[in-house]
Structure 1
Amino acid sequence: MRLEGKTAIVTGAGSGFGAEIARRFTREGAKVMAADLNGDAARAIAEETGGLAEAVDVSDTEAMKAMFDRALTDMGHVDILVNNAGMTHLPKPMTEVEEDEFDRLFRVNCKSVYLGARYLVPSMKERGQGAIVNIASTAGVSPRPNLSWYNASKGWMITATRAMAVELAPFGVRVNAVNPVAGETPLLKSFMGEDTPEVRAKFLSTIPLGRFSTPADIANATLYLSSDEASMVTGVCMEVDGGRCI
């Protein structure tokens, strides 16, 4: 029960890493708001975990403000924010990514972190405590070809994590990131372009431990960084990558 009595918001909680983070946090005692663009998926996770559900586009200012207002009203305060919602573009040369695709990518992967800070950090600062975990990627550390703008968005998240950590440390708010290697989630096929045994083998050949990450791997790391066990840890971007970035 490492999060007993804590409250949390997990974005992108309808599937993949986010769903498992919501489940794990609940098992550890937290009250979780599961937020997702897919409202039905968010409600399914909330029903499973006994938490709250919110249908939200994390790139939309008014929708995010409404979500945080509801969370603060219904839960009283928010101890933990996990910025997990994200997207990618299909593997292609950087010059072939359309402008609207680029804009959407940065709104979802980057602007959402800004909106979380804008609308939730003031209450954390007022209480003198809080933990934010951004789900970034090894793509921001060791980029893959033909995913240039996705790589760049995750590099942005890593820099934002460190900048936020330095600024918010005097107020008792910790900010960390988890950098997963490609995982067994709905986004995997998008990263690979196509899901075939040959493409999987090529991907796995770059991971020394020889497997993709799992939602449980990422939930475990996020749990640690969100818990009081990590009370002296801020500004860390933890690679959960089977050695991919060595």
Structure 2
Amino acid sequence: MMDHSIPVIAIDGPTASGKGTIAGRVARELGYNYLDSGAIYRVLAVAALAHGLFPESESDLRKLDALAASLPVEFRADRIYLGGKDVTESIRSEEAGTMASRLAVIPSLRGHLLQRQRDFRRGSGLVADGRDMGSVVFPDAALKVFLTASAQTRAERRHRQLIERGESADLAVILADLQARDKRDTERAVAPLKPCEGAHVLDCSDMSIDEVVNTVKAWYLKA
């Protein structure tokens, strides 16, 4: 059961908008816990890929439901484990991200993972980032932010991240993938991606990380 006395800052937004970087920084500066909700879906995606399961198959979907209901995921410091195996790096692959987006549109899977996300509400406070943190997971959040940027800006950021990790990357392919994910996320039947009621919309296309972090903290202090 959630402790509603623990404050939550919910930061939602599209893929590669920078919400993870911002949420992590804000959490550290405030001394709060941090939830990367997308990581949970990516862990499920890695598990699905490892088992050769795809949501378009009815028989596979039943297996995915069972997998999501008992997903052996652990968060230890800055590392993420699936069944005791460190998957911190593998969940950040483009393949895992694309599969996570496909899984996230399925209501039954979202339901299984909902409580796991809410369990992060502990300690002095929580900063959570995702797609529906303010609308579904933590509707009573003290501050709700919808962080966005143009598709081109987000694609360029993702392209730089991949290059810096030593991975090959095609900007045009990344842009097309982001646009496809945006379409899936905004058009899904359950918790579609959009600013929820009461959210502060922040376009960070032309803002530095420090500027965004300071803006979010200022809004929170006024909330």
TM-score, reference length from structure 2:
0.39
For CA contacts below 8 A with separation 6 or more, give which structure has more relative contact order.
Answer: 2
TM-score, reference length from structure 1:
0.36
